[in-house]
Amino acid sequence: MKKIALVLAASALTATTAFAEGEAPVVADADGNTTFSLAEVQAAYANVTEEAFKAADADASGELSAEELAAAVEAGAFAA
């Protein structure tokens, strides 16, 4: 049990350090369809609202392409 707690603490410290260094969270394409749903984006960027997601969805497809996601992240629309 102590080993698990230490591993989790080390993981949390590593994640905090990565965010502190300015690295953006990675959004996983959980369903493998090459686009990103609101749920997939919110798994990495918990504060993303439906409105912000829709604003980033330039082609109004209901999903973000890799380009749309990158543009939103670079513009600061999705805060970690």
Q: Is residue 80 part of a domain?
A: no
Q: How far apart are CA 48 and CA 16, in angstroms?
A: 19
Provide the pLDDT for residue 21.
55
The CATH number for 48's domain is 1.10.238
Per-residue pLDDT of the chain (80 residues; tens, 9 = 90+): 444 433 333 344 344 334 445 688 999 999 999 999 999 999 999 999 999 999 999 999 999 999 999 999 999 999 87
Alpha-carbon gap, residue 59 to 4, rounded angstroms: 44
Residue 10's domain spans which residues?
Answer: 2-74
In the chain the first and final C-alpha atoms are separated, in Å, by 30
Residue 60 lies in a domain: yes
In a domain, 79, yes or no: no
Phi/psi class of residue 32: alpha, beta or left (left: φ > 0; alpha: ψ in -120 to 50)? left
Residue 59's SS3 state is: coil
pLDDT of residue 69: 97
**Domain tally, the chain:** 1
